[in-house]
A and B are shown apart, each in its own frame.
Chain A
Amino acid sequence: MGEGRWKRALRVAAVALLLLAALQVSAPRGQGPHRTAEARAAGPCGPDRTLRPAVPPQRGPDVVELQERLRELGLYAGPVDGVYAGGTVAAVRELQRRRRLPPTGEVDDRAWLLLDDPGGRPGRSEQAASAPPPGRVAIDIELATQTLTVLVDGRPFRTFTVAIGKPWSPSPPGEWKIVEKAYESGGAFGTRWLGLDVPWGSYGIHGTNRPWSIGRQASAGCIRMHNHDIEQLFDWVEVGTPVTIRGELPSELWGTYRLGSAGLVVVALQVRLREAGFSAGRADGRFGERTQAAVRGLQSFYGLPADGVAGNAELYLLGLKRPAEQGRTGGGTRPPLPGDPGGMRLGRRP
């Protein structure tokens, strides 16, 4: 191989590398790399699987959602048992026939759209698409009312109706940040995806191919919006935009929590620490150094060993434990706890 050919090969390789780097930089965050899509697939709000008539039949919450929707449309009168067989398959075939499609009985990403009611979309937001005024944008989601409010400098700018997690797969209350913005192809995530930094799963705010579910407890924990709504929202927010999800938190905790602990229980701990006057920073479900410092502050103030670990005594003082559960030393009478008997909430927006 001559020297000129080597040089040419090197030049081509350098140009290719530059092009690759440029592609990485210019791609919207989360859109380019497949890693994020895989992470989403592994999370609670994964993409749809294709339902097919099979033996043994497929089962799952997506079949429950399908059966409920078919019932609403008057196509199915059988039990909502999460089993994709018999009457459910027949109802899907009937729907496909009505929409002049081959009655295969298969339900894929696109087929969910057939279930939309052309007569009207419950809870659809009818709002102008004007951009928010300049200021600090934040998102506030109230699970009790299934609404998402865009705040600009703390003041409400737009409110959208959303779908939230089902009671057995709830949306995560907490103070999150958008860590990913991605374009989607119109499947289960609709046309846009805004990923949140929830430490125990891949949760996000996204569009949907089930627009009828908006305004309901319907998702696996993510926040669903109409595609036209998420498309507006997508342009208004950045990676780093704060997202507060307000809802019920565990009112009683067991165990000990220390540096590295994570989960909804840590959100509850952080919220209670803050209410008690010990700032633990953002209620992000991660027991980090700020949370540890807040626990130490509480321990020092109340004269407990300042080891930064939240155990029985700390949880009791925060109203997150009853004395009967105080391990080997506890027992006796049970004092009422703040928020008892119901759960505690990540407070209302001021």
Chain B
Amino acid sequence: MVAGRRWRLWLAVSLAAAALGAAATGYWWLYLRTEPGMVRYDPDARLDPARTYSLQLWDYRWPTAPDGTPYESWLRSTLAEFGRRHPNVRVEYRLLDPAGGAAELEEALRQGRPPDVYATWPGQPVFYDRRLQVPADLYFTREERGRREAPPAYVAAALRAAGHGGRLSAWPRFLVAHLWPGHREALARAGLDVRAVTGQGWDWNSLSAALSARPEREAGLIVNPLGTAAFEDLLHARAGPSGSPLWTRQGVAEVAAWLAQLRHSELLTVPAPEEAGDVPIGHLLGGRALAVAGASPWLVAKLAYLQPGGPGDGPLVLLPVPTPPGNPPALRLEASVLIVFRQRDYQGHNHTRAAVELARYLSTARHPWALPGTPILPAYRPAWEEWRMAGGFPPALVPLVESSSGPEGGDAGAATARARHLADASEALAAFWSGRLDHRALAERLGREAPPAPPAPPWWRRLLP
């Protein structure tokens, strides 16, 4: 009898210990998955069918896509489809002006009232506020994360670009590749094998040789004198796909010296800033330039669709940016992501779930600008596969989209510092292009000492999903 009682007692104690242990483990796991000082998340929360959720979506006022799809009507129909899937979720959208949208978001964050979902302009920060931003990885399903037998739902470069500080901060939407548009026939006339250039990449020497071999009347390589894109492309190609710092003194010096040499040999055409639209477009479409460096990806996408034959079959070809000899091909990407925010007046886990579902849905819907044959790539893997099969994208760069070695997305602080630096760089480069600043002075002005390597993340970070 006594032995029987002891057995029951032991069983009860063991069960209690197991329950306590499980609770502690669960708490520990939740603790690890929650940033210090942050409110808790409940990724298991579901939509309550008896409740109506009202979401605010902030997106940008995108121009009509090159294939003629007006952005707002596309967004309306996409949201209507979302509404059919989630009848109790109402979405109000607001289209921001690209020039002032970032400031509006920052103001809304200061007031603690950001939109539920914010679709970033490419290149904007992917991380803003620990207290208000909902980490995407907490809500990723097993399928989205990828398994041994199936890759993640988004291409690796997009996941990398949507991450910050080792976590996935947002839902990837699309990627913008900085490529140089070239003229197929003009490149061939200069002795370049276009298929080899797009299939394996090219280096500074092969570009210089082609520029020297081109017919005399042709403009060679046209450099966009506005902004920093052309120079940044080359810096990035020099730094390689590892995402190491671009604006180092040595990097700026090398790129500037190479460009100065090309210019000295009259292989470069740098139009006056006021002709930075007419000259590249006219020469490129007329087949009187090999390629244009630093053209806006949106301009490249539009020209691809305006050319005779349309994208892929027309005279325009998308080229990788040439690298210094010996470097592997490189790809400069910017990402547009969907960020889920919660408000200071918290509306509950179910509301957050509704916002997550909207971000997820929009991340899988193909953005109207992510058209095959343009430098705008869908981030959602099924759409990417289809996009890639349509052709037009340099095969040499495909592995770079599918590898996760690119840079992570930035935060708001880094974006402000970068904007300040780019404004300064833009001014210095204008002086460089106009001949008022030589390549040594440019390197002196813009080059920075390479920053020390960032500290390794703590060991427990590796345990996180």
Q: A residues within 8 Å of B by Cβ? A: 275-278, 298-305, 307, 311-314, 316-317, 319, 323, 326-327, 329-338
- In the complex the two chains form, is B287's CB within 8 Å of A333's CB? yes
Rounded to whole Å, the gap between the CB of A65 and the closest CB of chain B is 42
Q: Which residues of A contact B275 (CB under 8 A)?
A: 329
Main secondary structure of the interface of A (DSSP, over half): loop
B318 interface residue per 8 A CB criterion: no
The chain B residue with its CB closest to the CB of A338 is B68
Q: Once the chains are docked, how many angstroms separate the CA of A59 from the CA of B314?
A: 54
Other A-B pairs, 10, CB within 8 Å; known A298-B63, A307-B274: A276-B63, A277-B61, A300-B98, A304-B277, A305-B226, A311-B277, A317-B299, A334-B308, A335-B314, A336-B308
User: Which of A299, A316, A327, A332 touches B306 (beta carbons < 8 Å)?
Assistant: A316
Question: Quick one: which of B229, B278, B286 has the most chain A CB within 10 A?
Answer: B278
Q: Which residues of A contact B98 (CB under 8 A)?
A: 300-301
Rounded to whole Å, the gap between the CB of B323 and the closest CB of chain A is 23
Mask: chain B, 412-431; 1 = CB below 8 Å from A; 0 = not: 00000000000000000000
Known: A303-B226, A332-B288. Contact between A317 and B273, CB under 8 A? no
Known: A317-B306, A332-B288, A333-B315. Contact between A301 and B282, CB under 8 A? no
User: Which of A301, A327, A331 touches B278 (beta carbons < 8 Å)?
Assistant: A327
- In the complex the two chains form, is B282's CB within 8 Å of A323's CB? yes
Q: Which residues of B contact A276 (CB under 8 A)?
A: 63-64
B169 interface residue per 8 A CB criterion: no
B350 interface residue per 8 A CB criterion: no
Q: Once the chains are docked, how many angstroms separate the CA of A335 from the CA of B308?
A: 5
The chain A residue with its CB closest to the CB of B276 is A305
Rounded to whole Å, the gap between the CB of B311 and the closest CB of chain A is 12
Q: Which residues of B contact A333 (CB under 8 A)?
A: 285-287, 307-308, 315
- In the complex the two chains form, is B283's CB within 8 Å of A329's CB? yes
Mask: chain B, 63-90; 1 = CB below 8 Å from A; 0 = not: 1100010110000000000000000000
The chain B residue with its CB closest to the CB of A314 is B277
Q: B residues within 8 Å of A by Cβ? A: 61-64, 68, 70-71, 98-99, 224, 226-227, 229, 273-279, 281-283, 285-288, 295-296, 298-299, 302, 306-308, 314-315
- In the complex the two chains form, is A300's CB within 8 Å of B282's CB? no
Q: Which residues of B contact A312 (CB under 8 A)?
A: 277-278, 281-282
- In the complex the two chains form, is A302's CB within 8 Å of B276's CB? no
The chain A residue with its CB closest to the CB of B63 is A277
Q: Which residues of A contact B70 (CB under 8 A)?
A: 275, 277
User: Which of A303, A319, A327, A338 touches B299 (beta carbons < 8 Å)?
Assistant: A303
Known: A303-B226, A303-B229, A303-B295. Contact between A313 and B64, CB under 8 A? no
The chain B residue with its CB closest to the CB of A311 is B278
- In the complex the two chains form, is B286's CB within 8 Å of A313's CB? no
Rounded to whole Å, the gap between the CB of B18 and the closest CB of chain A is 61
The chain A residue with its CB closest to the CB of B296 is A303
Rounded to whole Å, the gap between the CB of B309 and the closest CB of chain A is 9
Rounded to whole Å, the gap between the CB of B232 and the closest CB of chain A is 13
Q: Which residues of A contact B282 (CB under 8 A)?
A: 312-313, 323, 326-327, 329-331
Rounded to whole Å, the gap between the CB of A322 and the closest CB of chain B is 9
Q: Once the chains are docked, how many angstroms separate the CA of A207 from the CA of B58?
A: 50
Rounded to whole Å, the gap between the CB of A270 and the closest CB of chain B is 15
- In the complex the two chains form, is B307's CB within 8 Å of A331's CB? no
Q: Once the chains are docked, how many angstroms separate the CA of A331 from the CA of B276?
A: 17
Top 9 nearest A-B pairs by Cβ distance?
A303-B296, A332-B286, A313-B277, A329-B282, A277-B63, A304-B277, A326-B282, A277-B64, A331-B286
Known: A314-B277, A316-B281, A323-B281. Contact between A303 and B227, CB under 8 A? yes
Known: A277-B71, A312-B282, A333-B285. Contact between A305 and B277, CB under 8 A? yes
Q: Once the chains are docked, how many angstroms separate the CA of A89 from the CA of B281?
A: 60
Q: Once the chains are docked, how many angstroms separate the CA of A330 from the CA of B289?
A: 11
Q: Once the chains are docked, how many angstroms separate the CA of A312 from the CA of B384?
A: 34
Rounded to whole Å, the gap between the CB of B298 and the closest CB of chain A is 6
Q: Once the chains are docked, how many angstroms separate the CA of A317 from the CA of B301?
A: 11
Give 30 pairs: A residue, B residue, CB < 8 Å, sorted on A: A275-B70, A277-B61, A277-B62, A277-B70, A278-B63, A299-B277, A302-B296, A302-B299, A303-B224, A303-B226, A304-B299, A311-B277, A312-B278, A316-B281, A316-B306, A317-B306, A319-B306, A323-B281, A323-B282, A326-B278, A326-B282, A329-B275, A329-B278, A329-B281, A329-B282, A330-B282, A331-B286, A332-B288, A333-B287, A333-B307
Q: Once the chains are docked, how many angstroms separate the CA of A336 from the CA of B307?
A: 7
Q: Once the chains are docked, how many angstroms separate the CA of A314 from the CA of B281?
A: 10
The chain B residue with its CB closest to the CB of A278 is B63
Known: A316-B306, A326-B278, A327-B278. Contact between A305 and B64, CB under 8 A? no
Q: Which residues of B contact A329 (CB under 8 A)?
A: 275, 278-279, 281-283, 286
Q: Once the chains are docked, how many angstroms separate the CA of A59 from the CA of B71?
A: 53
The chain B residue with its CB closest to the CB of A324 is B286
Rounded to whole Å, the gap between the CB of A196 and the closest CB of chain B is 28
Rounded to whole Å, the gap between the CB of B221 and the closest CB of chain A is 15
Q: Which residues of B contact A303 (CB under 8 A)?
A: 224, 226-227, 229, 276, 295-296, 298-299
Q: Which residues of B contact A335 (CB under 8 A)?
A: 285, 306-308, 314
Q: Once the chains are docked, how many angstroms separate the CA of A304 from the CA of B287?
A: 20
Q: Once the chains are docked, how many angstroms separate the CA of A282 from the CA of B245?
A: 48
Q: Once the chains are docked, how many angstroms separate the CA of A335 from the CA of B315?
A: 10
- In the complex the two chains form, is B274's CB within 8 Å of A305's CB? yes
Q: Which residues of A contact B227 (CB under 8 A)?
A: 303
- In the complex the two chains form, is A301's CB within 8 Å of B274's CB? no
Question: Quick one: which of B71, B279, B285, B287 has the most chain A CB within 10 A?
Answer: B285
The chain B residue with its CB closest to the CB of A273 is B63
Q: Which residues of B contact A337 (CB under 8 A)?
A: 306
Rounded to whole Å, the gap between the CB of A69 and the closest CB of chain B is 45
User: Which of B285, B287, B298 touches A302 (beta carbons < 8 Å)?
Assistant: B298
Q: Which residues of A contact B315 (CB under 8 A)?
A: 333
Rounded to whole Å, the gap between the CB of B178 and the closest CB of chain A is 11
Rounded to whole Å, the gap between the CB of B367 and the closest CB of chain A is 14
Q: Which residues of B contact A330 (CB under 8 A)?
A: 278, 282, 285-286
Q: Once the chains are docked, how many angstroms separate the CA of A327 from the CA of B62?
A: 30
Q: Once the chains are docked, how many angstroms separate the CA of A301 from the CA of B97?
A: 11
Rounded to whole Å, the gap between the CB of B312 and the closest CB of chain A is 14
The chain A residue with its CB closest to the CB of B294 is A303
Rounded to whole Å, the gap between the CB of B106 and the closest CB of chain A is 20
Q: Which residues of A contact B288 (CB under 8 A)?
A: 331-332
Q: Once the chains are docked, how many angstroms separate the CA of A190 from the CA of B224?
A: 60
Rounded to whole Å, the gap between the CB of B24 and the closest CB of chain A is 55
